[in-house]
Amino acid sequence: MSQDKSAVPSEGRILVIDGDVERARAMETILHFIDRECTLVTECARWQEAYREVGDDLLAVFVGDCGGDARLTELLREIHQVNDRLPIFLLTEKGKEPTLRIEPGSVVLGRIDTPPHYAQLTHALHQAEVFHESHAGAGRQRPVDLFRSLVGSSRAIQQVRKAIQQVADSDANVLILGESGTGKEVVARNIHYYSSRRDKPFVPINCGAIPGDLLESELFGHEKGAFTGAISARQGRFEMAEGGTLFLDEIGDMSLPMQVKLLRVLQERTFERVGSNKTIKANVRIVAATHRNLEEAIKDGSFREDLYYRLNVFPIEMPPLRERVEDIPLLINELIRRIEHEKRGSVRLTSGAVMALCQYDWPGNVRELANLIERLAIMHPFGVVDVGDLPEKFQTDSVRSEAARAPKLTEEVILQPTPIEFQEPRLPREGIDLKEHLSNLEQAFIKQALEDAGGVVAHAAKRLGLRRTTLVEKLRKYGLQQAS
C-alpha cells in the first residue's frame, strides 16, 4: 500500500541504492561535498530496512546496478508500492544509453550520468524538490504563512495589504515589483491564499535560477525522448498549477525567446509539452515578480513590451526595508518567534540593539535581517544581545552614543511563524568532541538558569525542566558553586 507522505523539505536525505560499492561511495562523497545527507544501500534487497529508518526525511532515491534490468524493474515497482510520491533517478554510465523500459506510473524523473556533473546533479535535486511540492496534495501543501515581510504598521506596508485584498479574488495577472529580499513571494502567496483558487496548487518557479535551455521544459513539461535524458514524460509547472496560481519569480531574467513562448500562452491560454504537438488548456492565474526595472529593460531591448503589458495588469510595489524603518522592531519579533516556534532556541535584543538595527540601511532587506537574527540566536542562545554584541557594521559612533543613553531594557518578543528557511547546524569538516561540546553547552545553560533564578537552585531546576536533586548532582559534577 502506498504511503501518504507530505512534501519533503528541500534539505531531505538522498537514498542511494547501488550494488556497485565503489560508485555508491563516490556518489556519497559528492553529495556530502554539496552539503547533502545520504544513506547508502549496497545490498539492494535490503533497501526497505534503510527506508524505514529515514523514509520521512527522503528527498529522492538514486538507483544504480541491482543485478540486471529485470531486478531493477522489480525494485522500482517495490519502491512505488511503498511510496508512490518518492522521485527516483537512475545512475548510468556516462555515454551509455539505458536499456531499461520505464513502466507507466513509476516515478522515475530521469537519469544521472556517473560520475555526475555538478549542474546535472543539482538540477536533479531541484526536480525532486519541485516534484514533492507539486504532489503534496490538497490540504498538505507547504503552509501558507501570511505575515513574514507583511508585518508592520507603516503606510507602505498597509498599502500593500490593501492592494492584496483588492486583487486577490479576481483572475487578473499581477506584477510584483521590489528589490531582492523584500518579500515578493510572500505577497504572491497572500494573493493566492485570499483568492478563490486557494484550494488549488500554488506553484513557484524562479526564472532566473534555471538555465534558458531547461526553462521551457520546466514551464511546459516534455514528452519521453524530447531531448537527451528525457527517459519519461514529465509535467511542467503550468500543468502542476492547473486551477491554481503560477508564480513566475524574477521574470525580468527570462530570455527573449522564452518571453515569446510565454506571451503566446498568456494570449491563447494553451500550450504544448516539449516534443509534443498536443494542445493542453491552461487554467492558471499568473503572478510575476522582478527586482528589475522592466520599463528600462524594454528600452534596452531585453524585455518585450507586449509581455510587460500582459503581466502588468495590477502592479504591486514592495517597499525596501529602509523605507519602512518603523516596522523593524515588529519584524525582529516576528523572526524570533519563528525560531522559537521551530524549537531552535531564542534570543532577546535590548532597546539599544533594536535602535542600532533601525539606523542601518539594509541593502539585503528582510532577508538580510532574517539572516542576522538567526546568526544572533546561534551566537547568543537564549541570551540578551546589546549593541556591543552586534556585528561591527551596525556599531556607528551615533549608535554607540544613543545606546549609552538608552535604558537597558529587553525587547519582549512573542511573534508569528514565518516561511523563511534556515539551515540546520552542520558538523564541522574537522569534526568535534561531541561529549565535550554537550558538556560545555549544559554548563552554560545551568549557569544562565542560576543567574536568572538569583542563585536559587529550585527555581533554576524548574527552568531547566530538572528535579532539584538532579541539578545539585550536576553542580557537583561540574564543580559549579551552588548558591545558598
Mean pLDDT confidence for 366-386: 90
C-alpha cell at 301: 531591448
Q: Answer yes or no: is pLDDT of 243 > 90.
A: yes
List the single range of 187-191, 380-384, 391-395 with lowest mean pLDDT.
380-384
- Mean pLDDT of the region 353-368: 92
pLDDT category at 264 given cuts 50, 70, 90 is very high
What are the tens digits of pLDDT across the range 462-475?
788 887 777 877 88
> Which tens digit of pLDDT belongs to each residue from 290-318?
999 999 999 999 999 999 999 999 999 99
Does the pLDDT value for residue 90 go beyond 60?
yes
Tell me whether domains 322-405 and 434-478 share a fold.
no
Domain boundaries, the chain: 13-134, 155-319, 322-405, 434-478
Question: Is the pLDDT confidence value at 262 over 90?
Answer: yes
Q: Which CATH class is domain 322-405?
A: mainly alpha
* CATH fold for domain 434-478: Arc Repressor Mutant, subunit A (1.10.10)
In the chain, the largest separation of any two C-alpha atoms, in whole Å, equals: 83
Highest mean pLDDT among 24-28, 133-137, 230-234, 446-450: 24-28
CATH superfamily of domain region 155-319: P-loop containing nucleotide triphosphate hydrolases (3.40.50.300)
Q: Superfamily for 13-134?
A: Response regulator (3.40.50.2300)
pLDDT at 188 over 90: yes
For residue 325, pLDDT beyond 70: yes
Q: Is the pTM of this model over 0.85?
A: no
Give the three cell numbers for residue 394: 551596525
The per-residue pLDDT of the chain, averaged, comes to 80
When computed from its CA atoms, the radius of gyration of the chain, rounded to whole angstroms, is 26
Given a cut of 70, is residue 61 above it in pLDDT? Answer: yes
